[in-house]
Amino acid sequence: MRVCLFDENRLGLVENETVRDVTSVLDKLPSRRYPFPQGDAFIALLPSLRDAIATAARSASTKRLSEVHLLSPVANPSKVMGAPVNYQKHLTEVATDPNLHHQNKAHMQAIHQSGFFLKANSSIVGPSQNVVIRHPDRRTDEEVELAVVIGKRAQAVLAAEALDYVAGYCIGLDISIRGPEERSLRKSVDTYTVLGPWLVTADELADPSHLDLQISVNGELRQKANTRYLILGIPELIEFASSFYTLLPGDVLLSGTPEGVGPIKPGDVMRASIERVGEMTVHVRAG
């Protein structure tokens, strides 16, 4: 199942080039009183809403996919976790380029040493909302990554069981200002976390360990790799993350970017794709 949020927070079921409007299903979510529980209420209940989505889709109004304004498929994660350097060739690229590592040893270590960083939730947008460059004087790069969306509460999960905790997958762009500051600052600018084009539920993608991923900028291929080259695979990332954080439904884990990162500027058009997930076009705008 491919679910998206589109236009004015409509819920959509994506089938081929069509979006079926199944927003009525959101009426089944419980009403909440403040303080609201953390995590994404829709993602938490998605397994029990699947039948209702399928039923609503039968009589749903439809739009062409090319006509809709795609938002992030996850509205309310409690956190976005990023794997900083999780492809060996990207580690080599960072370690050998002063413009990427800025003499900061923490930027030259593999994930075993550096662990995760967190991105502000306020940086999340969908593919139709554009990346808006905040500091045009600073080098700002694209990073394409497989994004994992957690489906249920996870604490100290073992890798062997970790995929049971996945709701689904989407493409993640971890837009990053290069420089000496903490990653959580440089990567948390508004619009610098792009998630889309939709959530592919885990039942459609049982094995995330052999997926081609790539991104082009203005038609020129920048990054092209396969998730088989991840230093820590998705199960190991979930084990690692859940040994530090309680993972909640809707939490997003950006699994790391491969080699080939490069600067983006206003006017650029990024086209990212991940095998069996989909592809999306994202425009870069001036602030």
Positions touching Mn ion (CB under 5 A) are: 143, 174, 257
Residue 10 or 101: the one with the smaller Cβ distance to Mn ion is 101
Residue 40 or 143: the one with the smaller Cβ distance to Mn ion is 143
Q: Residue type at 161?
A: E
Minimum distance from residue 85 beta carbon to Mn ion (Å): 8
Minimum distance from residue 52 beta carbon to Mn ion (Å): 35
| Sign, Cα dihedral of 217, 104, 132, 194 | positive
Rounded Cα distance, 198 and 12, in Å: 9
Residue 20 or 107: the one with the smaller Cβ distance to Mn ion is 107
Rounded Cα distance, 147 and 7, in Å: 22
Minimum distance from residue 231 beta carbon to Mn ion (Å): 13
Minimum distance from residue 145 beta carbon to Mn ion (Å): 6
Residue 174 or 239: the one with the smaller Cβ distance to Mn ion is 174
Give me the residue whose beta carbon is nearest to Mn ion: 174
Residue 143 or 239: the one with the smaller Cβ distance to Mn ion is 143
Minimum distance from residue 179 beta carbon to Mn ion (Å): 15
> And the tokens for 279?
């592809």
The candidate with the shortest Cα–Cα distance to 274, out of 188, 205, 218, is: 205
Is the separation of the CB atoms in 165 and 236 below 8 Å? no
Residue 189 three-state SS? coil
